[in-house]
Amino acid sequence: MAAAGSPVANEVAITPTSTRSPLADITVAGRVADEQGQALPGVNVVVKGTTNGAQTNTDGRYSITAPDNATLVFSFVGYTSQEVAVNGRTSVNVSLAPDAQTLNDVVVVGYLTQNRQEVTGSVATVSGTDVRRAPVATLGEGIQGRLPGVQVTNSGIPGQAPVVNIRGIGSISSGGGPLYVVDGLWTTNLRDFNPQDVESVQVLKDAASLAPYGSSGANGVIIITTRRGKAGTPAVNFNVYGGLQNITKTYDLMNSQQWATINNQAHDNAGVPRLPYANNLPTDPATGQVLDTDWQKELIKQGSVQSYDLKFSGGSKADNSASNYLIGLGYFKQNGTTIEPKFERYSARINSGLTRGRLRVGESLLLTRTNQTRLNGLPFNDVLRMLPVIPVYDPTRSGGFGYGDVNASTFGTNPIALQKLLNSTGTSNRLQGSIYGEFDITSFLRYRLNLAAEYQAYHDRDKRQYGQWRQNDPLNPSYYSEAQGNDLFGLAENTLTFDKSFGNHNVTAVAGYSSQRQHNEYTFGRNNDYGTGPVYYWALDAGSTAPQVVGSQFTWYKTSYFGQLTYDYNRRYLLTAAIRRDGSSRFAPSDRWGTFWAASAGWRISEEEFFQNTAETVNNLKLRASYGALGNDFIGGAYGGSYRYQGVINPNVNYPLGTSQTIINGQVQTQLASPGIAWEDRRTSNFGLDAGFLQDRITLSADYYISKTINALVDPPIATFYGNAGGNPYQRIGQLENKGFELSLGYNENRKAFKYSATGNLTTLKNRVTRLRDNSDQPFSFVGGPSDATRTEEGYEIGSFYLYQMDGIFQTADEIASSAQPQASPGDVRYRDTNSDGVINPQDRVHVGRVFPKIQYGLNLTASYGNFDVVAFFQGVQGNDVLNVGHWWLDRTDDNTNYRSDFNPWTPDNRSTTTPRAVIAGAPGGSDAATSAGTNSFLNSTRWLESGSYLRLKNAQIGYTIPKETLSRLKALGSLRVYVTGQNIFTITKYTGYDPETVGSGTLARGVDDGSFPNIRTFTLGLQMGF
């Protein structure tokens, strides 16, 4: 049964034998334990070179008769086998280490579990150990950089889910988030999932692997398996870590004195009266010193993270039956690195299962409660816009916070006031669970029923105190609002699996039926005028004017039929095929059904006779290819996009009438329907290679893919005179292409006491819109980002930068005279007249830069010796650009903001070639300075486009396992490991903003850093205890 070349550790099928060797001399006995000292039952103990073997019992004990010079081989699934020479001893105790390769050995593809060796699609995996190492709230952050082809971008806001894209973006209108399958539950939300529960994570990327998921698989699937109990003595494990978090990079900004110099210069250059507080610096009444607010310092603080995870697990194993259980309790808390936001999560997990004869039943359940205080506004822009001469607190203003006025004018928001006066919180209770039952009808036919559900109930509250945080805001009364809702998703899958070998022909086939349903309910209430404080009564009843009530519900439903087939000849020639037919309630009856399919083939060259000579060096070599079509029915809009094909009447187009101005109900259609919508169609070709050298000490996996989305649902602009309100009608007119190369290369040495490994991955990605038009008309384009800095159109990336090109600074009047900017003055920005028409206007903007990195990579280094273990994980991207909006706020000068301390604008005595002269807006109409203030500050120019490349030491950990002898004095403790972890330890980048890793401003502006919250550096101390 064992395939040639596969590690012994994979095989459990060596039957214990009672045959005594005639050469037996002594009886050797002992205990086998895992890395934490827990007993390992079921370990095979074999005398090397014979069939003589035994198995450990539930206490991990074994006994075997062997020659006194024999070598014993200890092997167990999931652990590296160990060979121990007896040397005449009668007691041999062994501790087995987990096998890092194991996770690669079995993968789930759709409704089948395959040996890694036989997979013909593109599948990447990461172990739970690696995921759990990161001191982070979400799984997405834990897998960042570890998987080729998976792009994760994150921010430092507590409780925010990172943006995950697999192989680029395949949809313009419906985003690109993957499907997560957690123990059989399909979900798109993992924020409330406890990463400490992860056993393994696996990513499916090509059509062959994804076709079984049909319409939900178009953006990739991440399969998460959670930890389960193991047979043996019940284990009690407690893991705890805690640490500090900091924003490491801030701008070096000007103090009041420096700021006033530049600000006065900007006003003088424009011929506009100086700002009173720049002309005469104000004093801080408290100190008598010049008022000098460091807004960054006021906003940013040290944050903290802590996590507690307690797990009870165990199980039993006997002939023809087994059981396992795991009970886990978790608590995670993060206090933000800016004032106010925080996040905490309580989680409980109950996983269990049993095998009895031909029946297997298992269950997986997660209950969580999260509490979150949200971040309001874009404080990382506002700290740049607020002036150092404005105090944070100003008791003369309503609400008690300082903000701009005629003396120190800015339209920036006091970010402290915004956090303090508006308290926005959310709680969420979530259940994610699944139950399966599997029955072997015959030895080769089994039936499985999988039932899964996700239920979330959330409650959001906004408490808005009286007071102002920005110049020129109307005086809003205090208000209070509550939003409550719940979301129930259910999934039922019936599958029948046929699995049989006919000689060298091995066949597995699955047929199934599934249905999915999601139901969402939402209510919102708001009331106004809660007085002016300082005591507020935050109940909806307590407001005094104009209460508002909103509510809605929606349901969508999906029915699917599917089949999956794998066939191989002698484990050498591999074929798979999958088909899935999905019907979605989101589409009109005529467009409702879509059929998705894929086929793949693989050739394990290393299994060929002619290859056996090189098997010592190249133990595995496989070529594979796949092609298939996937769909997508996720579209945005009201009610989760559930009813977009139907024209609907807006039930609240109201109007006050009558002497008492009663609000009378009006109803009418206000948004056009999308009658023609149907499945998006994403087609992917994948070519791959897997190789293993030197008994898999070196492993290599490479993939090249071309993924094309045709009939992409796009909601292009339509003429305004149709009067459409809300999103425009969807049409199936887009085509997109994602192409890329993915490489994973590892070296793993665990034969000696000093164990080490290096695993690197590299991904390239090219995203392009290949068509964006209907059959007859001219192409469409979509703009995105602030000042329409991006444009999505045919021939370019989604969200491609579309900018004026800065071409230096005018130094002389002669240069100006011969330019396309006759109204410019020396010191102004020169832009490239790209169409050479003699004027600089919007037609001179061009596509420039790159949104998607040319390369993203990760490098994981591990080493262990004795009781020490070390891990370092580097991650980075190369070849993309970021539009730095923060930089624009600081350097634009037409608007009053603070400036960088090394900001040195052009003056006749300082002829900068990169920084134009400072000119405030508001110069008298028609003057050159008025023009300069406008053109010098174009946000949509290359002046603000910076390289987004970075290399980051994402994670490093040093651990020490306390020796057993030391621990034995502490009777309660079975094992103890102490470790120190750092996250985002250092970053090498030329980017001048807070963080080059930006979550962007939506799909159409993902390269725009508009006040993104930077990633944070974390150092934690942790303990792993076994009892």
Partner 1 sequence: MKRYKLPLAALLSSMLLTTACEKDPLNQVNPNQPTTTSFWANGTDAVKGVNAAYSGLQQLGTYRRWLNFAYDLRSDEGFSNSPWGELASFTRFVLTNYNFEVNDVIWRDNYRAIWRTNQVIANVPNIPSTAIEENMRKRVLAEAKFLRALNYFNLVSLYGRVPLLLTPSDPEAPLPPQAEPAQVWEQIIADLQAAKPDLPASYTGNDIGRATNGAATTLLGKAYMQNKQWALASAQFQEVIGSNQYRLTTTYTDNFRHTTENNSESIFEVQFSDAKLGGNDGDDATSSEGGQRSQFWGAPNAGGFVDGEVRPWIVSEFLQEGTTAGTRDPRLAATVFYNRRQFPTSLPVDGDTLVYGTGFLTRYNNNATNRTRVYWRKYQTDYYRTFENFDSPINQRVMRYADVLLLQAEALNEQGRTADAVTLINQVRTRAMLTPLVAGTFNQTSLRMQIMHERITELTGEGLRWFDLQRWGLLDNQAGLDRLRAHDSDFNNFVIGKSNRLPIVQRDIDLTGLQQNPGW
Distance between CA atoms of 780 and 718, rounded to whole angstroms? Answer: 10
Q: Say if CB 828 and CB 810 are below 8 A apart.
A: yes
Of the candidate residues 72, 921, 985, 1025, the single one contacting partner 1 (CB under 8 A): 921
Residue 970 half-sphere exposure, CB side, CA atoms within 13 Å?
Answer: 13
Whichever of 18 and 442 has its CB closer to partner 1, that residue is 442
Name which of 438, 268, 267 is nearest 361 in CA terms.
438
Site for partner 1 in 433-462 (CB under 8 A): 442, 445, 447
- Taking CB under 8 A as the binding criterion, the range among 548-556, 680-688, 743-751, 903-911 that sits at the site for partner 1 is 548-556
- The two tokens of residue 174 are 């419906």
Whichever of 720 and 818 has its CB closer to partner 1, that residue is 720
CB burial class (10 A; 0-12, 13-18, 19+) of residue 274? Answer: middle
Distance between CA atoms of 913 and 906, rounded to whole angstroms? Answer: 8
Q: Say if CB 691 and CB 621 are below 8 A apart.
A: yes
Binding mask 203-242 for partner 1 (x = CB under 8 A): ----------------------------------------
Q: Say if CB 877 and CB 853 are below 8 A apart.
A: yes
For CA atoms 62, 63, 65, 69, give the dihedral sign: positive
- Shortest CB 457 distance to partner 1, Å: 19
CB burial class (10 A; 0-12, 13-18, 19+) of residue 327? Answer: middle
- Shortest CB 603 distance to partner 1, Å: 27
- Shortest CB 555 distance to partner 1, Å: 5
Whichever of 380 and 489 has its CB closer to partner 1, that residue is 489
- Shortest CB 602 distance to partner 1, Å: 25
Site for partner 1 in 816-875 (CB under 8 A): 841-842
Whichever of 552 and 835 has its CB closer to partner 1, that residue is 552
- Taking CB under 8 A as the binding criterion, the range among 8-16, 91-99, 488-496, 939-947 that sits at the site for partner 1 is 488-496
Of the candidate residues 18, 720, 818, 836, the single one contacting partner 1 (CB under 8 A): 720
111 CB neighbour count, 10 Å cutoff: 22
Whichever of 367 and 673 has its CB closer to partner 1, that residue is 673
Whichever of 480 and 627 has its CB closer to partner 1, that residue is 480
- Taking CB under 8 A as the binding criterion, the range among 83-91, 108-116, 313-321, 580-588 that sits at the site for partner 1 is 580-588
Longest dimension (CA), the chain: 111
For position 719 contacting partner 1 by CB under 8 A, the verdict is yes
- Taking CB under 8 A as the binding criterion, the range among 376-384, 424-432, 508-516, 871-879 that sits at the site for partner 1 is 508-516
Give 38's contacts (C-beta < 8 A, 6+ positions apart).
60, 232, 233, 235, 974, 975, 1026
- Shortest CB 521 distance to partner 1, Å: 10
- The two tokens of residue 263 are 């600000």
**What residue spans of 364-498 are helical by DSSP H?**
379-385, 415-421
Whichever of 447 and 704 has its CB closer to partner 1, that residue is 447
The DSSP bridge pattern shows strands 680-693 and 79-85 to be: unpaired
Site for partner 1 in 634-673 (CB under 8 A): 639, 642-643, 646-670, 672-673
Distance between CA atoms of 396 and 408, rounded to whole angstroms? Answer: 15
Whichever of 586 and 850 has its CB closer to partner 1, that residue is 586
Site for partner 1 in 260-289 (CB under 8 A): none
The DSSP bridge pattern shows strands 94-95 and 26-33 to be: parallel
- Taking CB under 8 A as the binding criterion, the range among 94-102, 353-361, 427-435, 551-559 that sits at the site for partner 1 is 551-559
Whichever of 359 and 550 has its CB closer to partner 1, that residue is 550
Whichever of 645 and 906 has its CB closer to partner 1, that residue is 645
Of the candidate residues 67, 276, 485, 583, the single one contacting partner 1 (CB under 8 A): 583
Site for partner 1 in 928-947 (CB under 8 A): 934
Whichever of 649 and 813 has its CB closer to partner 1, that residue is 649
Distance between CA atoms of 927 and 920, rounded to whole angstroms? Answer: 12
Site for partner 1 in 592-611 (CB under 8 A): 592
Distance between CA atoms of 438 and 200, rounded to whole angstroms? Answer: 22
How big is the site for partner 1, counted in residues (CB under 8 A)? 84
- Nearest-Å Rg of the Cα atoms of the chain is 32
Whichever of 261 and 670 has its CB closer to partner 1, that residue is 670
The H or E element spanning position 663 is strand 662-664
Distance between CA atoms of 78 and 400, rounded to whole angstroms? Answer: 62
Of the candidate residues 50, 71, 306, 724, the single one contacting partner 1 (CB under 8 A): 724
How far, CA to CA in Å, does 902 sit from each of 256, 258, 412? 14, 10, 22
Distance between CA atoms of 815 and 824, rounded to whole angstroms? Answer: 10
Of the candidate residues 246, 423, 429, 555, the single one contacting partner 1 (CB under 8 A): 555
- Taking CB under 8 A as the binding criterion, the range among 93-101, 849-857, 921-929, 984-992 that sits at the site for partner 1 is 921-929
Whichever of 87 and 545 has its CB closer to partner 1, that residue is 545
Site for partner 1 in 48-107 (CB under 8 A): none
CA angle (841, 844, 845) in 5-degree steps: 110
At residue 763, the 3 state secondary structure works out as strand
- Taking CB under 8 A as the binding criterion, the range among 46-54, 58-66, 230-238, 582-590 that sits at the site for partner 1 is 582-590
Dihedral, CA atoms, 568, 572, 573, 577, nearest 10 degrees?
40
- Taking CB under 8 A as the binding criterion, the range among 276-284, 380-388, 471-479, 704-712 that sits at the site for partner 1 is 471-479
The one-letter amino acid at 480? Y
Binding mask 15-44 for partner 1 (x = CB under 8 A): ------------------------------
Whichever of 395 and 547 has its CB closer to partner 1, that residue is 547
- Shortest CB 985 distance to partner 1, Å: 44
- Shortest CB 372 distance to partner 1, Å: 23
Whichever of 593 and 693 has its CB closer to partner 1, that residue is 593
Whichever of 370 and 516 has its CB closer to partner 1, that residue is 516
For CA atoms 173, 177, 178, 184, give the dihedral sign: negative
Q: Say if CB 122 and CB 149 are below 8 A apart.
A: yes
Dihedral, CA atoms, 63, 65, 70, 75, nearest 10 degrees?
-40
**What residue spans of 234-348 are helical by DSSP H?**
256-270, 276-279, 295-299
DSSP-derived secondary structure letter, 77: T
Q: Say if CB 664 and CB 655 are below 8 A apart.
A: yes
Distance between CA atoms of 955 and 980, rounded to whole angstroms? Answer: 11
Whichever of 346 and 447 has its CB closer to partner 1, that residue is 447
- Shortest CB 838 distance to partner 1, Å: 16
- Taking CB under 8 A as the binding criterion, the range among 65-73, 761-769, 920-928, 997-1005 that sits at the site for partner 1 is 920-928
- Taking CB under 8 A as the binding criterion, the range among 14-22, 345-353, 472-480, 613-621 that sits at the site for partner 1 is 472-480
Q: Say if CB 953 and CB 986 are below 8 A apart.
A: yes
- The two tokens of residue 456 are 């979330």
CA angle (714, 720, 725) in 5-degree steps: 70
- Taking CB under 8 A as the binding criterion, the range among 215-223, 302-310, 509-517, 1004-1012 that sits at the site for partner 1 is 509-517
- Shortest CB 937 distance to partner 1, Å: 11
